[in-house]
Structure 1
Amino acid sequence: MSAHKKLNYVEFAAADLTATKVFFSAVFGWLFVDYGPEYTAFDQKSAGLDGGFYQAPLSSLTQHGAALLVFYSEDITQTQAKVEQHGGVIIKPIFDFPGGCRFHFTEPSGNEFAVWSEHI
């Protein structure tokens, strides 16, 4: 059930829907449902938030003012290795901030995300 006035859904462009789906499935265990050849959706159960990717030659980057979605990891170095192993590009290596550490990466379609943890 949707909660009134709460974030409910997020959408991203994806130049390569197949590569993006493979990446998020392999690294984060997301499940997808396709709605035609140009849209795929993920759900809160597998991703933590409902959302989807639509076919477009665009990407979401913080340097252009885009919002940043941040994953949590209990083992940030293992998660970083998995991101790299499955085609993600580390654009900000692990760095400390008050309360923990994080890194930023782009997935195969070029969208930027981050991963944080309390410790390395």
Structure 2
Amino acid sequence: MKKLCCSIALGVLMSFSFAAQANIDDVPLPNDFQVRMALEDDYPMIISGFVKQDLDSVMAFYRNTLGEPETITEDIGRYTYFYTVSGKRVKIGFYQQESWCEVSIMMTK
């Protein structure tokens, strides 16, 4: 009986830790996002690509879906939003090219 209770408790704890694990898929992507690179097996998780939208539209998409960023930085036309998503730190970078906008997302522990 004691072994059965320990096995059940261990199984419940393992399912909680699995469910609490964040995934880069927790970060929404615009509908027209085209993946250029994705590293999703370990932290930091990274996905990078582009959209055929202007910079303001893409930044508005993230403000509308994730809320106001905790921090915003700007460096020579490159903007970065910082969020906490599923308990993990998320950095979303934006850079306007001629007819498209580059979007890079990194999730860390």
Normalising by the smaller structure, the TM-score range is 0.3 to 0.5
| TM-score between the two structures when normalised by the length of structure 2 | 0.41
Structure having the higher helix fraction is 2
| TM-score between the two structures when normalised by the length of structure 1 | 0.39
